[in-house]
Amino acid sequence: MRDRLEALRRDGLAAVSESQDLDTLYGVESRLLGRTGALTAELKGLGKLSPEDRPVVGKLANEIKQALQGALDERRTAIESAELAADLAGEGLDPSLPGSNAPKGGVHPVLAIARELEDLFSSMGYVVWDGPEIETEVHNFDALNIPPDHPAREGHDTIWMDVEEGSARRCLRTHTSPVQVRALREFGAPLRVIAPGRVFRQEAQDATHDHTFHQMEGLVVDKGVGVPHMLHAMNSLLEGVFGRKLETRLRPGFFPFVEPGFELDARCPFCKDGCKVCKGSTWIELMPGGLVHPNVLIAAGLDPEEYSGFAFGLGLSRIAMLRYGINDIRWMMGGDLRFLEQFQA
């Protein structure tokens, strides 16, 4: 038995020192010291020895067990250090290999801006509302103080619906302004509301025109509302879109549903002394607006002596084109992934 134990020590130590990795070492350990290991078996066999031999051989067996255990631990530490060193040396690693492809989705650029503005105006107490895209002539024109024979009502500007004979005329709304009267009828005054949405015009398509595009209407009606409040709302909007305060100026503009009517110009956000966008003038025309015409308030069931208000309209598609440098409006509605991919969530 002594010989077997010595052989175990000799072979065991050799096996430990020959082990090159932790798996092998673990195998060696369980072969020697595991539940069914060789040394464990020998230790179990001690009971069969004579009482005289037992302490001597037992002592030897324990010595060998400790020696093997010690060698195993030492070898494990050595292998671990070597592995760590090898890992840190990074042989064969190319840190410049590309990363995995994370899923790429994106929101539509026009709607991205619309949602930013919805958040901005919600925080100022504005309701976000929308109206139907197929609109009645009453809401799209009559209620907005647009005269019955106004050219905008004709087929070369407006896309009309084919309706049953005798029913009221309907069209694809030509602006988001009909929501003014719809929202006022829904909520009454005082009211703050914005209404983003798609609008339609009888228009041949080219780089700057499409028959379908997006606008956002803004309306505030209350007692004592005037031009300074409108200017403040418009300035806030532009600050939201362009991320900084822009110098603006109001000048006259004409729209039947406001009086007085304005155009808001902003200092060109893209240059200091004239560029292609502002056509060298350093101003760009960004937003029409005005005080709500008394006839519109009346159409909405309000008394213009008591209430006043302002309204403005933003060309969302145009703002998106400006902000992202989109050169052709037809990209907007085309669904081309080469376009959509460039806008992230």
Chain residues 235-254 in contact with other proteins, contact rule CB under 8 A: 235, 249-254
Structure tokens belonging to residue 47: 């009971």
Rounded distance, CA 24 to CA 340, Å? 55
Smallest distance from other proteins to CB 176, Å:
14
Rounded distance, CA 14 to CA 69, Å? 13
Smallest distance from other proteins to CB 325, Å:
19
How far are the Cα atoms of 156, 200, 314, 333 from residue 210, in angstroms, in the given order? 14, 8, 16, 9
227 binds other proteins (CB under 8 A): yes
Structure tokens belonging to residue 214: 């997006």
Structure tokens belonging to residue 131: 């109206």
Window 49-78: residues binding other proteins (CB under 8 A): none
Using an 8 Å Cβ cutoff, are 292 and 306 in contact? no
Which of 7, 84, 134, 207 forms a contact with other proteins (CB under 8 A)? 134
List Cβ neighbours of 72 (8 Å cut-off, separation of 6 or more). 16, 25, 28, 29, 33
What type of residue sits at position 38?
A: A
Buried b (16+ CB within 10 A) or exposed e, 260-297: ebbbbbbbbbeeeeeeeebeeebbbebbbbbbbbbbbb
Window 308-327: residues binding other proteins (CB under 8 A): 308
* Contacts with other proteins, 8-37, as mask; x by CB under 8 A: ------------------------------
257 binds other proteins (CB under 8 A): no
Window 144-203: residues binding other proteins (CB under 8 A): 149, 151, 154-156, 159-164, 167, 170, 172, 187, 190, 192, 198, 200, 202-203
Smallest distance from other proteins to CB 267, Å:
13
Residue with tokens 């065991």: 12
Kindly state the DSSP code that residue 209 receives in the 8-state scheme: B
Stretch that binds other proteins, among 14-22, 44-52, 67-75, 285-293 (CB under 8 A): 285-293
Instruction: Give 22 or 277: the residue with its C-beta nearer to other proteins.
Output: 277
Instruction: Give 327 or 344: the residue with its C-beta nearer to other proteins.
Output: 344
Instruction: Give 13 or 230: the residue with its C-beta nearer to other proteins.
Output: 230
Smallest distance from other proteins to CB 288, Å:
11
Instruction: Give 91 or 164: the residue with its C-beta nearer to other proteins.
Output: 164
Question: Partners of 290 in the beta sheet?
Answer: 261, 311
Which of 11, 239, 263, 328 forms a contact with other proteins (CB under 8 A)? 263
282 binds other proteins (CB under 8 A): no
Window 73-112: residues binding other proteins (CB under 8 A): 103-108, 110-111
What type of residue sits at position 263?
A: E
List Cβ neighbours of 153 (8 Å cut-off, separation of 6 or more). 137, 141, 146
Whether the bond into 260 is cis, omega within 30 of 0: yes
Smallest distance from other proteins to CB 101, Å:
10
Say how many residues touch other proteins, by CB under 8 A. 86
130 binds other proteins (CB under 8 A): yes
